[in-house]
Structure 1
Amino acid sequence: MSIKSLCARRAARFLKRCQQHGVRRTFYLYSPEPFHPLYDRAPIWKTAEEAVQVIQSDSRVYIHGAAATPIKLVEAMTDHAKKAGLQNVEVLHIHTEGPGTYNLPEYDGIIRSNSLFLGANARKAVAEGRADTIPIFLSEIPQLFRRHIIDIDVALVSVAPPDKHGFCSLGTSVDCTRSAIQNAKYIIAMVNENLPRTFGDGVIHQSHIDAMVENTQPLPELKRGALSKEEKEIGKVIADNLVADGATLQMGIGSIPDAVLAQLGHHKNLGVHSEMFSDGVVELVEKGVITNSEKSILTGRLVSSFSIGTKILYDFLHNNPSVEMRDVEFTNSTSIICQNPKMTAINSCIEVDLTGQVCADSIGPRMYSGFGGQIDFIRGAALGLDGQGKPIIAMPSATKKGESKIVPELKYGSGVVTTRAHVHYIVTEYGIAYLFGKNFRQRAYDLIQIAHPDHRESLEKAAFERLKVMPSKT
């Protein structure tokens, strides 16, 4: 029996029971929580092409992101928008996987993307003025929807198939999607048997969904690349000097977090409270390194808001009660983060100036990513209630072209994500610069010591020109 047939049977039996017991619907507008059943509603099964017909000119459409990107629905939406001659459709999302067809030049004036965190498929469109991006902390995105600062007409999401009680799961990405579906007027769900069923805040009852579309496509995968020798050394520096046994970890995505995780095999009783994680965490769980046993918040459970990686990760997530996928307003709350023991936040960046200003979202004026959870966790770790938190920014000392990533001044047009007052630890393959409580003269000195040797002399001269005094350790 197909997923569609099985779900339809279950929904029919559920409605019949509710009618027999005289249960009435709790109207969604007065109780915007997608968990409780709405007893007089059931989703209508449609094709992707049929489901997206509800999208009209000037509609605002939310798209589920990362590994849960409903690519089939997105493609159906773009086809419908062009064929129907729609105009000014706005799509709102964090980074999405897939081609991001709506960002192609041929959709200019038809669909305009508005990114809350910029992914690779949106960068060119933003740079050319055909798409937008909103600078915002990841923790605050749900407030846009819950306060009705941004209202959503249609939400395109992926869900795991409903269970016998009619409950679906948002799977790999709860993040800001939970708040988006609370706000959306119409919800279209791509029911994908390959999406892992996860625990936490991502449970939604099928009665809140307006249209369901069957799908069996494999999830997008993000495979790890080979680490450079510089990245491996950065991982070793952090693991050996800054990650203590019993620490709670947050890490972003990419080669630097992978390099750190690869060096933690001999640590004990680590925990994870992060906005995201990938395959490297799974390996440490299976080795018994990550136990989450010493965490203060959700002890014994790995906490995240979204996840992307390979099938190894997705199999690990499926029906695993030791993993809590939570609303990003919870995972990224500084008041929650700071309660975890030895909170160690590891993030990367594009460049750092000699006063400690960190650029992580742009290359000069060209937007590259977004604020994400960097400040949420840098601040949360710095405020650790046990006084042992470590906010870390890590990067290779130089670009692949040999340019220094520690610079006298940020490039013209660069954005500051982590301010010089927020920054504590800066790490390169040459060591650790601890900047908290240091003046500009001391900061410049410490940063020059971990810069690439080829650039130290010129950085020292630039520091003198900027500060009118030589960098000094004391």
Structure 2
Amino acid sequence: MSVQSMYQSKRMSAADAVQFVRNGDTIVVPTGAAEPPALLHALSDARHKLHGVVVSQILPLRKYAYIDPETVENVRHSAYFFGGATRPGGQEGWVDYVPAYFSELPMLIRRNMTPADVVFAIVSPMDEYGYFSLSLGPDYTMAAVEKARAVVLEVNPNVPFANGNCHIHISQVAALTESNDPLFEVGLPKIGPVQEAIGAHVAEMIPDGATLQIGYGGIPDAVVMQLTNKHNLGVHTEMVGDGIMTLVEAGVIDNSRKNVNRGKMLATFALGSKKLYDFINRNPSIEMHPVDTTNDPFLAGQNDNLHCINATMQIDFLGQCGSETLGPKPYSGTGGQADFVRAANRSNGGKAFIVLPSTAKDDTISRIVPTLTPGTHVTTSKNDINYVVTEYGVAQLRGKTAKQRCEALIAIAHPNFRAELREQAKKLNLL
């Protein structure tokens, strides 16, 4: 049977495609913009007929009707990482959470430690050889494709066909449906003076020829905007967004000094504008790979001068970072922060930056604290932390004593809190 005949035999409505889901199944959905809205809306419509179904995903972007406390016995969301759509449910207890390093999710799926019965994903149109591109988020989903009983795809002409290990053959597909809605777009975050100041400190420490991992947010994008005078930068990252694309357009990124995948950018998910998605389409300079390629500390750390920029919400005197909860309340998730901190620490000439504004709530709360708020989940450990950056400067902690760390962090705290922090440090016998 030709690939076109196979395609037509598996083509159906979203409502019919959802019938491949059985009671008790776990449906794996890719990160962010790679989620398939037509299929998830159809699942929402059919949820009252289902029981014990779980949807596992990092960072859902839309509030689907199945994300509903009244129908969790029918379909329940299980987050690898919370977003705005799932955070309230996580804090109230009716959305589940799987703590895990982003890099290890494919391994957990392959070893049956976390289930993957069905895959729902949005993909590019099929090429002449029968392949679809899961270009917007191969992440952990490619591993789920290997394990799943049924792979169900939403084919959309707006999805780019990317290079890399992100292709699914029609022979692997149980059902597919078609849509042509515009993809979910995210613009560049707002950058204020605090973010700009932090970005300037980091940018000053990034040399020509460095390889970058840059996350999403105002501070990482503030770093990007201040790298336009650099040369021969490379990219080995988790997320590719519009900020990185602007550096490519400016001629700053050419990947010429990378040790691994020289000449090419690597990422595991894309989140940005239509311009970014068009940029990825059949572009030989960028490849999309599963997260156990992009985020594995050993693989990423083989690049010399790997510079990784990630944000946290709170840090204590020893350097423990609480990046995913507000006290015990879940906010986001582990994600890839620890993966890339460890990768940069392994890298010859690498630097791992943890960035944060010095205060929160209109300068009424210090984000640098003696001890983390009770219940806070530690995302980056005291043993992994290296550079910490606020708008007031840089504290280099790796290899330093507890007292030296405490002094360095107080020096970059907001001036209004430094005296109080010193008193608290004395009570802890750190000063």
* TM-score using structure 2 length: 0.97
Establish whether residue 444 from structure 1 lines up as the match of residue 406 from structure 2.
yes
The alpha carbon displacement at 1:364 in A equals 0.4
3-state SS of paired residue (2:407): helix
1:423 aligned to 381, 385, 389, which one?
385
Q: Distance in 2 between matches of 1:357 and 1:451?
A: 15
Please tell me whether the aligned partners of residues 402 and 430 of structure 2 are also in contact (alpha carbons under 8 angstroms). no
Name the residue aligned to 1:148.
112
Residue in 1 that maps onto 2:98: 134
Q: Can you list the C-alpha shifts for 1:204-247, whole angstroms capped at 9, x where unaligned?
A: 1111111110100111111123211000011111101x201000
Alignment partners' CA distance in 2, 1:150 and 1:133? 12
Aligned to 2:266: 303
Change (3 A) 1:396 1:340: same
Cα separation, 2, equivalents of 1:375 and 1:226: 25
**Contact 2:301-2:343 at 8 Å conserved across structures:** yes
Q: Is 2:310 the partner of 1:347?
A: yes
Provide the rounded CA distance (Å) in 1 between the counterparts of 2:195 and 2:425.
27
CA contact (8 A) 1:100 1:122 kept: no
- 1:274 paired with 2:237, answer yes
Equivalent pair of 1:42/1:209 in contact (CA under 8 Å): no
The one-letter code sitting in structure 1 at the alignment partner of 2:329 is R
CA distance in 1, matches of 2:65, 2:416: 43
Q: Select which of 258, 263, 274 maps to 2:226.
A: 263
1:179, distance to aligned residue in structure 2 (A): 0.5
DSSP-derived class of the 2:77 partner? strand
The residue matched to 1:200 in structure 2 has which SS? Answer: coil
| Larger displacement relative to structure 2 (127-136 or 94-103) | 94-103
**SS class of match (1:142):** helix
Please name the residue that 2:331 is paired with: 368
Partner of 2:172: 208
* Alpha-carbon separation, structure 1, partners of 2:367 and 2:341: 20
- The answer as to whether partners of 2:189 and 2:221 remain within 8 angstroms in 1 is no
**Residue aligned with 1:173, SS:** coil
Q: Does 1:396 align with 2:360?
A: no
Range with greater deviation from structure 2 (87-96 or 356-365): 87-96
Task: Give the match for residue 216 of structure 2.
Answer: 253
Same amino acid, percent of matched pairs: 38
Aligned-pair CA distance for 1:9: 7.7
Larger radius of gyration: 1
Q: List alignment gaps of at least 5 residues for structure 2.
A: none
Counterpart residue identity of residue 238, structure 2: E
Identify which of 99, 103, 114 aligns with 2:78: 114
In 1: Cα distance, 2:404 partner to 2:278 partner: 48
Q: Any conservation in 2 of the 1:247–1:269 contact (CA below 8 Å)?
A: yes
Residue deviations 1:416-453 (CA, integer Å, cap 9, x gap): 11111100100001000001111111111100010011
2:39 is matched with 73
What is the deviation of 1:144? 1.4
In the alignment, is the contact (CA less than 8 A) between 1:103 and 1:130 conserved in 2?
no
Alignment partners' CA distance in 1, 2:256 and 2:402: 40
Q: Secondary structure at the match of 1:116?
A: strand
Structure 1, residues 168-194: CA drift from partner, whole Å, max 9, x if none? 100211111111111110011000100
Q: Provide, for residues 369-404 of structure 1, a one-character-per-residue CA deviation record: whole Å limited to 9, x for no partner.
A: 1111111110111111x2x11011011111143211
Are 2:195 and 1:231 aligned?
yes
Question: Is the Cα–Cα contact under 8 Å of residues 43 and 210 in structure 1 kept in the other structure?
Answer: no
CA distance, structure 1, for counterparts of residue 8 and residue 169 of structure 2: 10
The answer to whether the 8 Å contact 2:394/2:412 transfers is yes
Change beyond 3 A, Cα 1:57–1:389? same
TM norm structure 1? 0.89
Contact 1:158 1:192 (C-alpha < 8 Å) held by counterparts: yes
For 2:98 and 2:179, locate their aligned partners in 1 and report how far apart those are by CA, in whole Å.
31
- Determine helix, strand or coil for the equivalent of 1:103: coil
Q: Give me the whole-angstrom Cα distance separating, in 2, the residues matched to 1:252 and 1:316.
A: 19
SS at match of 2:272: coil
Aligned-partner residue type, residue 425 of structure 1: Y
Residue 16 of structure 2 is matched in structure 1 by 50
CA distance in 2: counterparts of 1:347 and 1:355, whole angstroms? 18
Letter in 2 for 1:126: G
Amino acid at match of 2:86: A
8 Å CA contact 1:292, 1:299 repeated in 2: yes
* 1:463 counterpart SS class: helix
Helix, strand or coil at the partner of 1:178? helix
Q: Within 2, Cα distance between the matches of 1:453 and 1:299?
A: 44
For residue 10 of structure 1, report the CA deviation from its aligned partner. 5.0
Paired residues in the alignment total 430
Task: Determine the C-alpha separation between the residues in 1 that align with 2:87 and 2:225.
Answer: 30
Task: Please give the alpha-carbon distance, in whole angstroms, between the structure 2 residues aligned to 1:89 and 1:180.
Answer: 16
State the distance in 1 between where 2:430 and 2:36 align: 56
Change (3 A) 1:174 1:389: same
Name the stretch that deviates more: 42-51 or 206-215.
42-51
Matched, 1:287 2:280: no
Change (3 A) 1:49 1:404: same
State the superposition RMSD in angstroms. 1.4
For 2:4, which of 4, 11, 14 is the aligned residue? 11
Matched residues in 2 for 1:275 and 1:101: separation? 29
The aligned amino acid for 1:61 is I
Instruction: Report the CA distance shift for 1:59/1:10 in structure 2 as closer, same or farther (over 3 A).
Output: closer
What is the SS of the residue equivalent to 1:213? strand
